[in-house]
Amino acid sequence: MTKAKRRGKRTRKEKVDMLIVNANELVTLKGGSEKPRTGTQIQNLGIIRKGGLAVKDGRIVAVGKTPEIRKSFSAENVISASGKIVMPGFVDPHTHLVFAGSREDEFQMRVEGVSYMAILGAGGGILRTVRETRRAGVERLVEFGFKTLDVMLEHGTTTVEAKSGYGLTLKDELKILGVMKRLNQLHAVDVVPTFLGAHAIPLEYKNNPQEYVNLIIEEMIPRVAEKGLAEFCDVFCEKGVFNLEQTRRVLVAGKNRGLKPKVHADEMSMFGGAELAADVRAVSAEHLLFASDEGIKAMADKGVVAVLLPAAAFSLMTGRYADARKMIDFGVPVALGTDFNPSCWVENQQLVIAFACHFMRLTPAEAITAATINSAHAIGRTSEVGSLEIGKKADVIVLDVPNHMFLGYRFGVNLVDKVVKNGRLVVDKEASGIKTVGLF
């Protein structure tokens, strides 16, 4: 090729909206969108050293080595990630985003040794939050949810699943799902709604839980589905809450109306929730601290994603965690979420990754896969998010660490330097950073 021709080629660079270049590690998670990763595949991060990417109209249009990206694309907005890592925004596949009030006094009781189930049995826990959420107006709930999403975004989460379940009447469940819809419209973070009317037996049905299950099946699910307010239907399947038979009825009723099943399974006891999740072909089973070997095998067989929530286990203070290693060995795809709720108040997926490494012995690479592409599988969003690939949303985070193994290793602080959501720079620590003034 002649010099002139080469020059000519350089001038034909495609103009795009943004380039992110020179990442020490560009963690792409490429190739995990078809099937969730498990076994040894979960360690495969698809890292490109000195990597970069191009963004146009909110989407990723190129991923590769920085010189290749620079050669083909130009943009006014160029972000240098020199010395840092770049990866997909975190996907949080399990939150209870919308509620009113707080329960710090119950936290103190739990520190002093009172069990979570004892607090719930005495009308506290979920039931207390239900009382406060029923009283709260839409505006107050939207304001609270918005603030929470801000904190999540600052910590690098760009997509969250959100469960209802603090209303437990048709009117209040619709109110909460409506708030989630508003939040999805108002806030940069994408909110994926799950109907969790079967979160607890409300006090008014204490002596007739079956009637409440009927209400969920006959009134709530049809209305929620008809209004298009949820994609998933979840049940808190646990001794003293919803039994296996009730859980199955609710999940099947949801499925018949197009709501994909999820289960809060085997959190406090070995209850058969994992087996049931496999049996009803749930998209995911969540918690799983006490899942049986049979249940784990059945989940692997049916491709049910295990959404593990080590921050919730941490907040239970029993020292028990889900057996993530066994699940990965058996071929279950593992995802990680916060379980953000009034008894596990954490918005930060980076801390969840640290807990997963320390308490469940996931490597940082495994935990990163679990908190991104596998989480996207758990909420049916793999065509949009969870990896840095051409055509996906430009939901990208820059972390101020030299390599991915720092995730989990350096914990308790926010490693986020920048967050790009739908191709827009929405968090920039560099620009808003604290200016240290020397005392000299």
Return residues touching Fe ion (CB under 5 A).
339
3-class DSSP state of 232: strand
Tell me the closest approach of the beta carbon of residue 99 to Fe ion, in angstroms: 12
Question: Mutual orientation of helices 138-154 and 170-186 as an angle, nearest 10°?
Answer: 50
Tell me the closest approach of the beta carbon of residue 427 to Fe ion, in angstroms: 26
Whichever of 275 and 339 has its CB closer to Fe ion, that residue is: 339
Concatenating the DSSP letter of every residue in 282-341 gives -SEEEE-TT--HHHHHHHHHHT-EEEE-HHHHHHHTSS----HHHHHHHT--EEE---BB
Whichever of 263 and 398 has its CB closer to Fe ion, that residue is: 263
Distance CA 362, CA 431 (A): 34
Residue 25: strand pairing partners: 49, 85
Whichever of 149 and 235 has its CB closer to Fe ion, that residue is: 235
Question: Mutual orientation of helices 126-135 and 170-186 as an angle, nearest 10°?
Answer: 80
Residue with the CB atom nearest Fe ion in the bound state: 339
Distance CA 74, CA 11 (A): 10
Residue 89 sits at the vertex; the CA angle it makes with 88 and 93, to the nearest 5 degrees, is 115
Structure tokens at 376: 């996207």
Tell me the closest approach of the beta carbon of residue 94 to Fe ion, in angstroms: 6
Tell me the closest approach of the beta carbon of residue 335 to Fe ion, in angstroms: 13
Tell me the closest approach of the beta carbon of residue 100 to Fe ion, in angstroms: 17
Tell me the closest approach of the beta carbon of residue 176 to Fe ion, in angstroms: 14
3-class DSSP state of 36: coil
Whichever of 316 and 420 has its CB closer to Fe ion, that residue is: 316
Whichever of 308 and 357 has its CB closer to Fe ion, that residue is: 308
Whichever of 48 and 200 has its CB closer to Fe ion, that residue is: 200
